[in-house]
């Protein structure tokens, strides 16, 4: 049975519910600033989330929805400029402190840090967004808690490709069996599996609750119960915990490897 050596975290939807009230709002502000009449509703954005990466998402929107584009504009350049403006807006929103970490994230990160469990980030979003989210929630310097921040365009293929997980594991000199991944979406599950990682905890959110999480070890609606609601097991291995701490994380990792033959074959 392999030993659990590292926890690898997705960011958007997993560390924090960033999409609906963060990224989506920032995209809309960037569109308005640029004089575009584009607007991504809550529902439309849920559909657009099938494509990971903000630049890739805008290109998909242009191809699929054929929105109005001012004459003579060069699309590749426009996407890059819109994305820069969107990132500025997003970081401003984070700075307002309106996007907290999801329940259970901070205690798990603190426990990992105190007990020497290695932690890293594997995300599709832009690196400065990760630094801003961590700084505004866990405080300045918290980015250093993470051994590697794998983010954005550092790999050629974003999720659902496994490249970002492979990049992080290579930097940490880890094998897939050493790791437990935390994700929130179907594209996340596909990326984790593509990188050869068997052990995975999914925490669903408003945008991803209906996704297909086939092959995920444990699917729950939150890492920790809090005053508002308890943790619910939605599918897979029951970690038998009110809160995912390191002991529960080790149980999930062990369960993934005990049933590896049936989970991934
Ligand atoms: C996150 C993404 C990102 C964010 C926006 O997916 O797809 O594109 O939506 O961030 P995951 P950027 O949680 O699977 O990593 O605009 O910086 O790309
Ligand atoms: Mg995510």
Q: pLDDT tens digit string along 26-57? A: 999 999 999 999 999 999 999 999 999 999 99
Closest atom, ligand 1, to C-alpha of 53: 8
Span 16-32, pLDDT tens digits:
999 999 999 999 999 99
List beta partners, residue 203. Answer: 220
pLDDT of residue 75: 97
Closest atom of ligand 1 to CA, residue 122: 15
* Segment among 27-31, 61-65, 214-218, 223-227 with least mean pLDDT: 223-227
pLDDT at 89 > cutoff 50: yes
* 229-230-236-237 Cα dihedral, nearest 10 degrees: 160
Strands 218-220 and 233-236: antiparallel
Q: Which ligand is nearest to the CA of 82?
A: 1
Is residue 264 pLDDT above 90, yes or no? no
Residue 262 in this model has a pLDDT that exceeds 60 = no
Angle, helices 75-95 vs 54-65, to 10°: value is 130
Nearest atom (ligand 1) to Cα of 23: 5
All residues at 6 or more sequence positions from 203 whose CB lies less than 8 Å from its CB, including other chains:
14, 102, 182, 184, 220, 221, 222, 223
Confidence of residue 215 (pLDDT cuts 50, 70, 90): very high
Give 53 Cα–ligand 1 centroid separation in angstroms.
5
d(CA 24, ligand 1 centre) in Å: 11
Q: Give catalytic status of residue 226 as yes or no.
A: no
Q: Locate tokens 């940490």: which residue?
A: 172
| pLDDT higher than 60, residue 265 | no
Cα separation, 50 vs 170, whole angstroms: 27
Active site residue 12: yes
Give the 3-state secondary structure of 78-140. Answer: HHHHHHHHHHHHHHHHHHCCCCCECCCHHHHHHHHHHHCCEEEEECCCCHHHHHHHHHHHCCC
pLDDT band of residue 152 (cuts 50, 70, 90) is very high
pLDDT class for 134, splitting at 50, 70, 90? Answer: very high
What is the Å distance from ligand 2's center to 18 Cα?
Answer: 9
Mean pLDDT of 170-178: 98
For 152, half-sphere exposure in the C-beta direction (CA atoms, 13 angstrom radius) is 13
Sign of the CA dihedral running 53, 54, 57, 63: negative
On whether the pTM is more than 0.85, the answer is yes
Mutation to probe ligand 1, out of 25, 54, 89, 187 (largest number of atoms < 8 A from CB): 54
């Amino acid at each position: 049975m392999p030993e659990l050596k590292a926890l690898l975290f997705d960011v958007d939807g997993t560390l924090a519910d960033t999409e609906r009230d963060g990224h989506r709002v920032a995209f809309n502000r960037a569109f308005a600033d640029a004089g575009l009449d584009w607007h991504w509703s809550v529902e439309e954005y849920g559909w657009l989330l099938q494509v990971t990466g903000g630049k890739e998402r805008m290109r998909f929107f242009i191809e699929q929805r054929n929105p109005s584009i001012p004459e003579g504009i060069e699309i590749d350049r426009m996407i890059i400029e819109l994305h820069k403006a969107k990132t500025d807006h997003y970081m401003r929103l984070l700075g307002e402190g309106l996007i907290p970490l999801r329940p259970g994230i901070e205690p798990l990160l603190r426990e990992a840090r105190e007990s020497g469990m290695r932690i890293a980030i594997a995300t599709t979003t832009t690196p400065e967004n990760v630094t801003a989210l961590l700084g505004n929630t866990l405080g300045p310097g918290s980015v250093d808690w993470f051994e590697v921040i794998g983010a954005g365009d550092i790999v050629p293929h974003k999720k659902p490709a496994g490249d970002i997980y492979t990049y992080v594991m290579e930097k940490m000199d880890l094998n897939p069996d050493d790791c437990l991944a935390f994700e929130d979406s179907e594209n996340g599950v596909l990326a984790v599996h593509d990188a050869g990682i068997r052990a995975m905890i999914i925490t669903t959110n408003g945008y991803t609750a209906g996704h297909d999480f086939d092959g995920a070890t444990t699917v729950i609606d939150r890492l920790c119960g809090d005053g508002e609601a308890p943790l619910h097991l939605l599918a897979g291995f029951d970690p038998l915990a009110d809160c995912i701490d390191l002991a529960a994380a080790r149980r999930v990792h062990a369960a993934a490897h005990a049933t590896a033959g049936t989970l991934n074959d």
